[in-house]
């Protein structure tokens, strides 16, 4: 509604509105200066000591923006709007056309393979294995179609040596693989030169390692700054959309996010994958946090080994491999990583506090969940923890965020405090409430089926308040209303553990 009650037609002549519109018709200056927050990417016309978006101090850096040439602007328009709107039914392109990958886990996280013309960002801490993983993908795809791997971080010789290592004979009798004909490598950081290489080689897949080393010389900021990273990514997206080439960008995440990280790129790309894991552990999780072509929060599990990243097709088994059966302080939780249930071992240890306040040390679980669980254990169940340090560890370097793991965390702690093992063939699923009650969690059937598949005989779960479908076969389900009751079911008694 236009203020003053004017009808819609009249507002067209409104002098305020016309002057407003003409604002947008101001001719673009040749180049201008802007200030970009290096923490969050906020752009401002003036310098500000404190970024209004993320609140960090002195993070604004002056950058000169070159006005795009007329030809480039035309090209961009041609890309976006070709010939005006088209009928949905007449738009070509088979939605299911994907480049197949020999790495099933990677393909699954992408939603079933590489989509031509898509742009995918793979983020992760330095040294976690991004280059290794993408070189493996490149090696495998290059057996079918040309692949260009551009590195701004390593020489082509280094990459070749890594490739040879990845293709090496595994010693299990399988012949070592040959080097694919159609994998092209180049060390380059100038985006314009990269685009020339792409035009010459015409790959199906382009890997850019990393987006932080790629730069456009005409932008007068240094490589790795927010505007360089964002502009490079935007141009690579144009390349992907106009040519149908699939583009993989590698982006480093730094702890403080000080260098322009994958965060500022998330809205530019189609898919964002994060490679996570503990650097001191061999397991790596590839997690999709955004995907225009598939489900998000899908997770693939890999193990970094001698010959690069190996798929772990049965991760639960791997995470439980080193478990000591019948040792106090160990419990099995079933958590969901995306749509996939994962069995993990949660370890607890209590030990008398030497001096001062008792400590609560979580590794792999949220500190607040740990504090809640210990408080409920001491107040509602009667496990004395007031003079005990409590340590909790999730085996395998996994980070478990879900409240569904509460029960296993509680059982691991109680088991250590009472020196009574948790039954070896039992999994524990459930959220712990403040009154000591056990609360239902989602996707129970999937969790129970995975536990049954791995040979677990019993599951202790929250009591169902609504009648649902029957529990899955193959596992005996014990329902508990409270944490106290659940622990009675799960922990071996004194006589039993002596057997």
Q: Please report, as ranges, the residues that interact with ligand TYD according to CB under 6 A.
A: 124, 126-132, 162, 165, 304, 306-308
Closer to Mg ion by Cβ: residue 260 or 475: 260
In terms of Cα–Cα distance, which of 44, 61, 62 is closest to 53?
A: 44
CA distances from residue 316 to 27, 345, 454 in whole angstroms, order as listed: 61, 9, 8
Tokens encoding 449: 């089926």
Closer to ligand TYD by Cβ: residue 132 or 316: 132
Distance of closest approach, residue 154 Cβ to ligand TYD, in angstroms = 8
Interaction of residue 151 with Mg ion, rule CB under 5 A: no
How many other CB atoms sit within 10 Å of the CB of residue 102? 14
Closer to ligand TYD by Cβ: residue 117 or 123: 123
Closer to Mg ion by Cβ: residue 123 or 362: 123
CA 122 – CA 337 distance, rounded (Å): 18
Compute φ and ψ for 177, nearest 5 degrees: -80, 150
Cα torsion at 49, 52, 54, 56 (round to 10°)? 10
Tokens encoding 22: 């003409």
Distance of closest approach, residue 286 Cβ to ligand TYD, in angstroms = 12
Which residue shows structure tokens 């995470």? Answer: 319
The H-assigned helical ranges of 149-260 are: 156-167, 191-201, 226-243
Determine the interface stretch with Mg ion among 66-74, 126-134, 280-288, 359-367 (rule: CB under 5 A). Answer: 126-134
For residues 72 to 111, the per-residue mask of contacts with Mg ion, x marking binding by CB under 5 A and - elsewhere, is ----------------------------------------
Q: Would you call 453 helix, strand, or coil by DSSP?
A: helix
In terms of Cα–Cα distance, which of 432, 317, 416, 308 is closest to 366?
A: 432
Count of positions on this chain that bind Mg ion (CB under 5 A): 1
In terms of Cα–Cα distance, which of 146, 241, 234, 153 is closest to 197?
A: 146
Distance of closest approach, residue 126 Cβ to Mg ion, in angstroms = 7
The entry of ligand TYD, Mg ion, none near residue 126 (CB within 5 to 8 angstroms by kind) is ligand TYD
**Which of 38, 39, 118, 131 contacts Mg ion by CB under 5 A?**
131
The entry of Mg ion, ligand TYD, none near residue 162 (CB within 5 to 8 angstroms by kind) is ligand TYD
The entry of Mg ion, ligand TYD, none near residue 388 (CB within 5 to 8 angstroms by kind) is none
Closer to ligand TYD by Cβ: residue 277 or 403: 277
Instruction: Write the burial class of residue 151 (CB in 10 Å: 0-12 exposed, 13-18 middle, 19+ buried).
Output: buried
Distance of closest approach, residue 157 Cβ to Mg ion, in angstroms = 15
Distance of closest approach, residue 102 Cβ to ligand TYD, in angstroms = 17
Pairing of strands 183-187, 308-311: unpaired
* Nearest residue relative to Mg ion (C-beta): 131
Distance of closest approach, residue 209 Cβ to Mg ion, in angstroms = 6
Contact positions toward Mg ion, by CB under 5 A?
Answer: 131
């Amino acid at each position: 509604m236009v203020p003053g009650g004017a009808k819609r037609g009249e507002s067209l002549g409104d002098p305020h509105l016309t002057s407003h519109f003409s604002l947008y018709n101001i001719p673009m200056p040749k180049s201008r200066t802007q200030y970009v927050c290096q923490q969050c990417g906020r752009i401002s016309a003036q310098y500000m000591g404190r970024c209004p978006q993320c609140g960090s101090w002195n993070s604004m850096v002056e950058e000169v923006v070159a006005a795009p040439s007329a030809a480039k602007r035309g090209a961009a328009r041609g890309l976006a709007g070709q010939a005006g709107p088209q009928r949905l039914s007449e738009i070509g392109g088979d939605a299911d056309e994907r480049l197949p990958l020999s790495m099933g886990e990677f393909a699954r996280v992408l939603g079933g393979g590489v989509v031509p013309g898509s742009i995918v960002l793979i983020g992760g801490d330095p040294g976690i294995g991004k280059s290794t993983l993408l070189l493996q993908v490149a090696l495998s795809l290059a057996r079918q179609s040309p692949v260009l791997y551009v590195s701004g971080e390593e020489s082509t010789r280094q990459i070749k040596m890594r490739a040879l290592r990845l293709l090496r004979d595994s010693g299990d009798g399988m012949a070592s693989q040959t080097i694919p004909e159609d994998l092209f490598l180049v060390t380059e950081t100038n985006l314009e030169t990269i685009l020339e290489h792409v035009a010459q080689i015409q790959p199906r897949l382009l890997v850019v390692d990393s987006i932080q080393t790629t730069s456009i010389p005409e932008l007068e900021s240094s490589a790795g700054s927010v505007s360089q990273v964002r502009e490079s990514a935007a141009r690579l997206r144009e390349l992907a959309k106009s040519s149908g080439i699939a583009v993989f960008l590698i982006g480093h995440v730094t702890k403080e996010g000080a260098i322009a990280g994958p965060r500022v790129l998330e809205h530019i790309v189609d898919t964002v994958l994060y490679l996570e894991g503990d650097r001191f552990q061999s397991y790596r999780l590839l997690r999709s946090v955004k995907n225009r072509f598939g489900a998000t929060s899908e997770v693939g599990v890999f193990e970094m080994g001698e010959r690069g990243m190996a798929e772990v097709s049965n991760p639960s088994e791997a995470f439980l491999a080193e478990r000591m059966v019948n040792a106090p302080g160990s419990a099995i939780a079933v958590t969901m990583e995306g749509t996939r249930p994962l069995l993990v071992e949660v370890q607890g240890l209590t030990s008398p506090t030497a001096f001062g306040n008792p400590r609560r040390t979580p590794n792999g679980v949220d500190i607040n969940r740990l504090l809640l669980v210990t408080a409920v254990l001491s107040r509602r169940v009667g496990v004395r923890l007031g003079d005990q340090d409590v340590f909790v560890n999730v085996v395998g370097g996994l980070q478990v965020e879900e409240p569904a793991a509460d029960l296993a965390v509680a059982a691991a702690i109680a088991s250590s405090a009472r020196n009574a093992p948790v039954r070896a063939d039992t999994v524990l699923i459930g959220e712990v409430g403040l009154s000591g009650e056990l609360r239902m969690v989602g996707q129970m059937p999937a969790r129970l089926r995975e536990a049954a598949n791995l040979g677990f005989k019993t599951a202790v779960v929250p009591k169902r308040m609504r009648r649902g479908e029957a529990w899955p076969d193959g596992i005996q389900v014990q329902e508990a209303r409270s944490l106290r009751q659940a622990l009675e079911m799960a922990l071996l008694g004194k006589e039993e553990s002596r057997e």
